[in-house]
Chain A
Amino acid sequence: MTSFALSAVDPAPIWITLQLATWTTVLLFVIGTPIAWWLARTRSRARPFVEAVTSLPLVLPPTVLGFYLLILMSPDAALGGLWLSLTGGTLTFSFSGLVVASMLYSLPFMVQPLAAAFEAVGRGPIEAAASLGASPADAFLRVAVPLSKRSFLTAGVLTFSHTLGEFGVVLMVGGNIPGSTRVLSIAIYDHVETLRYAEAHALAAGLLAFSFAVLVLVYAFDRRARVRVG
């Protein structure tokens, strides 16, 4: 990597990627936590179905996921139409659409570590909290969450880094619009296609080093994390 190569790198994809990963992670904390809590505690028969749905993104090719998302998000479809009437914009080939797609794509990386952590906490401490006068929400916030805090970090870091590296879904749903949907992985692909290896190197090596560091950190920090990188 030379200083020449670095200075020639367009920083926009990096910036977009970081924004996308941040939004995805924050929103998935909000959506994934209740799903994980429900999965860890429910005795409902619907549980295997919900579990399968949240794990599907691990096994499906990103192109399949992206293809159906593209169809769902088109202005004629339910989701796309709703979005259009609410915001006046389209979901496909937009940054918002990318966030929605990434949330689905990274859902297992948020839900699985959290559900495992909540299961490990078990009913014991929650019942103890209730017997001391703590409401369910109180027991969740003051007991379940603090007891699972390492897994919250794990889930957040995994979701963030998994979103950084996504390609197939982004390409299907967002395309390759500079400054809007051209994320890191697509920029690398673009550089390689156009034989600009120096720029590709700069981005690829950066992403590689970052992802490696993150995983080392996660594994060192949380022995319990069962990370199944799809």
Chain B
Amino acid sequence: MSAEGGEIEVGLPLEVRARIVLSDFTLEVDERIEARGVTAIFGPSGSGKTTLLRAIAGFERPARGRIALGERVFSDAEAGEFVPPHLRPIGFLFQDARLFDHLDVAGNLDFGARRRGRGDARFASGDVIASLDLAPLLPRRVDGLSGGERQRVALARTLLSGPELLLLDEPLSALDAARKAEILPYLETVTRRFGIPTLFVSHDLDDVVRLADRVLVLDDGQIAGEGPTAAVVEGLDRPSVAERGEASVVLEGRVLRHDARLHLTLVDLHGDTVSLPLAERLEEGDPVRLRVLARDVAIAVTRPEGLSIRNVLAGRVTSIRDQGAGAADVTIQLREDHLRARLTRAAVEELVLTEGRDVFALVKSVSLDRGR
């Protein structure tokens, strides 16, 4: 499973056409997801993300419809077919890890490896243990592990069971920021290194941007949008989905250099340069993905001086959209990329902003979403 050498990687289609009725909730989905890379299922709590994942895994039985991976049908309500979870080649990483307390770490890893994962050459136990840095934990009891360690063990256990599709159910949501920062790089490494198609459920836009190639937006039991991460994230400021995420743009660039003295990392965005707090693990030339919230961008009509903001980028206004409640969303074209600024209607009028006007974008904060 490699995209090297210019081959085009084609994933199996995961067909999910299902109606699932729970006591207080109905999920209705009709979607073909290409099982390749990392696809995020994004939406607010209660939107049905976990239910969708559980239906794919076989923990919920759809009242109607069909779930199939490639040629293999997992459930077909009309035909009365239902493959129980243990016979589906699907790995599930639970929010709460669900390690077996009666086994040590090695015992937990063995559990999956000895069943479905037996003889699966894609996931050699040495490789999995090494890529998740688990060797020192092997003899430990699981009840003494930290939250981040538990998720790492659970992820390894799932991989060792030899899944063809990996489902991650908000694996980061039970963790605090520090633990999350500890496990995120592992999730990135593992999904890439083992090339396993992954569906990743999250209500955190930052995690989605960092991990996912594609996004499926779920709202109140229905699919509300689908597409490549950058495009979907940018579309998330429409009023109907306003609560789900703030208006923002995702920018892709490359690390230019580090400045150790000023503790900064400079990133090249197709000719424009932005600086962000030093990200030591990145090397020069590494591709990075940045996210800039619209509310973190201000606009000046002349190049400002005597300013604490470091990132000042020249550009041109390409659109001004009224957002209601006295707010306006201004799009600024840079050399190649564009930014969005959330301004007040009053500011737009005072600065006499019009489409085509040359301006300076003042970026107060940039977050690093992905760095390899």
A residues with a Cβ closer than 8 A to B are: 124-125, 127-136, 138-139, 142-143, 146-147, 149
Contacts and interface: CB of A to CB of B under 8 A. Distances in A.
B116 A128 contact: no
Interface of B: 57-59, 84-86, 90-92, 94, 96, 98-102, 111-112, 115-117, 157-158, 161
A130 B96 contact: no
A142 B111 contact: yes
Nearest to A135: B86
Given A127-B59, A127-B85, A132 B98 contact: no
A140 to B, nearest CB: 12
Contacts of B157: 132
A194 B370 CA distance: 89
A124 B115 contact: no
Chain B residues touching A, majority SS: loop
B158 A131 contact: yes
B1 to A, nearest CB: 21
27 contacts: A127-B59, A127-B92, A127-B94, A127-B98, A128-B99, A128-B100, A129-B111, A130-B86, A131-B57, A131-B86, A131-B90, A131-B92, A131-B158, A131-B161, A132-B116, A132-B117, A132-B157, A133-B116, A134-B86, A136-B86, A138-B86, A138-B115, A139-B86, A143-B102, A146-B100, A146-B102, A147-B100
B115 A132 contact: yes
Identify which of B58, B59, B98, B116 gathers the most chain A CB atoms within 10 Å of its CB. Answer: B98
Given A124-B98, A131-B91, A133-B112, 20 more contacts: A125-B98, A127-B85, A127-B98, A128-B99, A128-B100, A130-B59, A131-B57, A131-B161, A132-B117, A132-B157, A132-B158, A133-B86, A134-B86, A135-B86, A136-B84, A138-B86, A138-B115, A146-B100, A147-B101, A147-B102
Main secondary structure of the interface of A (DSSP, over half): helix
Contacts of B86: 129-136, 138-139
- Among A132, A134, A143, the most chain B Cβ lie within 10 Å of the Cβ of A132
A143 B115 contact: no
Contacts of B90: 131
A147 B101 CA distance: 7
A43 to B, nearest CB: 10
Contacts of A136: 84, 86
A143 B117 CA distance: 18
Nearest to B118: A133
Contact of A130 (B85, B99, B100, B101): B85
Contact of A124 (B85, B96, B158): B96
B115 A128 contact: no
Given A129-B111, A132-B111, A133-B117, A124 B94 contact: yes
A143 to B, nearest CB: 6
Nearest to A145: B102
A215 B84 CA distance: 42
Nearest to A147: B102
A170 B84 CA distance: 46
Contacts of A132: 86, 91, 111-112, 115-117, 157-158, 161
B51 to A, nearest CB: 14
Nearest to A149: B102
A135 B83 CA distance: 12
A129 B101 CA distance: 12
A147 B100 CA distance: 8
A143 B57 contact: no
Nearest to B93: A131
A79 B86 CA distance: 41
A55 B90 CA distance: 41
Contacts of A133: 86, 112, 115-117, 161
Contact of B115 (A127, A134, A149): A134
A129 B58 CA distance: 13
Contacts of B98: 124-125, 127-128
B159 to A, nearest CB: 11
A130 to B, nearest CB: 4
B23 to A, nearest CB: 10
B84 A130 contact: yes
Contacts of B115: 132-134, 138
Contacts of B101: 147
Nearest to B86: A130
A118 to B, nearest CB: 14
A138 B85 CA distance: 13
Nearest to B167: A131
A229 B153 CA distance: 42
What are the 8 closest A-B residue pairs judged by CB atoms, nearest first? Answer: A133-B116, A133-B115, A128-B98, A132-B112, A131-B92, A130-B85, A146-B102, A132-B161
A143 B157 CA distance: 15
A131 to B, nearest CB: 4
B123 to A, nearest CB: 12
A180 to B, nearest CB: 43
Nearest to A131: B92
Nearest to A143: B100
Contacts of B116: 132-133
B107 to A, nearest CB: 10
Nearest to B116: A133
A223 to B, nearest CB: 15
Contacts of B59: 127, 130
A5 B35 CA distance: 81
B158 A125 contact: no
